[in-house]
Amino acid sequence: MKNILIIEDDESIRKMIASVLEVEGYSVSAAANGKQALETLRCNRLPDIILLDMMMPVMNGWDFLDFVRGNATTARIPIIVVSAYSEIAKSVHPHAVVPKPVQLKSLLQAIEGLAA
């Protein structure tokens, strides 16, 4: 079972994405900001894909990416940036971009494209 880490500060979005992905058969972990996500990476099995929101309190998406890409064990995890601002999303060179408001179809396509 593929594991997906969702990093998103809005609780309702985070939970809803987790629910729909679980129904699709993924195993899901979640974090409300970059700092929580780094904790999750440290303590658990590494995810197969990371869904990342950029604008978050405590630790934003940019700082989180710096950590993940600077670390050999995490640098290769595919990143999908979920953002309302396509310019911002493209500027950090993720493996895929899902625009907000999130459409289930495009979310699943992005994940399936990377999980294959």
Partner 1 sequence: VEDRKSLIKILCVDDQPSNLLALQAALQGFDYEIVEALSGEVALSKVVEDDFAVILLDVQMPVLDGFQTAMKIREIKRAQHTPIIFLTANYPSETYAIKGYEAGAVDYLFKPLNVDILRAKVGVFVNLFRAKEDIREKARLLREFEAREREREISELRQISERKYQDLVEGIHDGIVWVFNPNSQQFSYISRRVEEVTGYPVERWTLGDGFWLNRSHPDDRARVQDILDQAVEADGRVALEHRFLKSSGDIVWFRTEVHRQRYAESGRFELHGLSVDITHLKNTEEALRKALRIRDEFLSIASHELKTPITPLQLQMQGFLRMIEKGRFQSVPVETLRSMLQISDSQVSRLSRLIDQLLDVSRMREGKLAINAEEVKLSELVHDVLRQVKHELDVAECAVVTHLDSTVIGMWDRLRIEQVVINLITNATRYAAGKPVKISVSHDADKAVLCVQDHGMGIDKKDQERIFERFERAVSVQNYGGLGLGLYISRQIVELHEGTIRVISEPGKGATFKVELPCLPGQDLPT
Q: Which of 116, 115, 89 is nearest to 102 (CA)?
A: 89
**Per-residue interface string for the shown chain with partner 1, residues 54-93, x marking contact by CB under 8 A:** -xxx--------------------------x---------
| Shortest CB 74 distance to partner 1, Å | 24
Q: Does 19 bind partner 1 (CB under 8 A)?
A: yes
Nearer to partner 1, 22 or 39 (CB): 22
DSSP assignment of 13-76 equals HHHHHHHHHHHTT-EEEEESSHHHHHHHHHHSPPPSEEEEES--SSS-HHHHHHHHHTSTTTTT
* Binding piece for partner 1, criterion CB under 8 A, among 4-12, 38-46, 73-81, 87-95: 4-12
